[in-house]
Amino acid sequence: MKSTQATQEEYFSFLRSVSLLRDLPEEKLAKIVDCLEIDYFDKGEYIIREGEEGNTFFIIAKGEVCVTQTTEGCTEPQEIKTLGVGDYFGEKALISEDVRSANIISTENDTQCLVVDRDNFNQMVGTYEELQAYLKEYVEELSRCDERRNFS
Ligand code: WNU
């Protein structure tokens, strides 16, 4: 990411406030700030499409998104939750080595996401066992939620 020193520091302290990254070592967090991209989305815009390949992890810096998913017996994807500032998404395709498992749609204009690519995500997670274990468990729980939604 090319940005001023001040912006770098803003992202650094923002990332520090994200619960997932709270305990990451200083230099890891600084490295993430260095390779961040920022993406902007308008209301209604798809950030992630279910079934597509994905190589990125997102952290919401501004705005709100909703998560929808194809559900057995429904013609339209069903809304399963909304996420806001400090929440993150897109980890599942990276961890499960699978396609995107839900849609992520911006519900506001000027939603801003910090985007981490697969290599940097692996570096961030791979070097930190607790984070890896936490995310793995969470991803398995999401799969169970998906099953429950479809077979009940
Ligand atoms: C859900 N089922 C599925 C969410 C975000 C982060 C965590 C929950 Cl740690 P992806 C689509 C993304 C997926 C998840 C996100 O949607 N998601 C869900 C569910 O019930 N996905 N299958 N809830 S919000 C959320 C926990 O990040 O990752 O790469 O793309 O498959």
Does residue 141 lie within any of the structural domains? yes
Q: What is the CATH number of the domain that holds 73?
A: 2.60.120.10
Q: So what's the pLDDT on residue 85? A: 97
pLDDT tens digits, 70-89: 999 999 999 999 999 999 99
| Domain carrying residue 85 | 37-150
Query: Does residue 152 carry a pLDDT above 80?
Result: no
Q: Mean pLDDT across the chain, nearest whole number?
A: 93
Percent pLDDT > 70 in the chain is 97
Does residue 101 lie within any of the structural domains? yes
Q: How crowded is residue 34: how many other Cβ atoms within 10 Å of its Cβ?
A: 12
Cα separation, 103 vs 52, in Å, equals: 10
Q: Which atom of ligand 1 is nearest to the CA of 83?
A: 24
Does residue 32 lie within any of the structural domains? no
- Structural domains in the chain (count): 1
Does residue 16 lie within any of the structural domains? no
Half-sphere exposure of residue 1: CA atoms within 13 angstroms, side-chain side: 25
Does residue 7 lie within any of the structural domains? no
d(CA 123, ligand 1 centre) in Å: 20
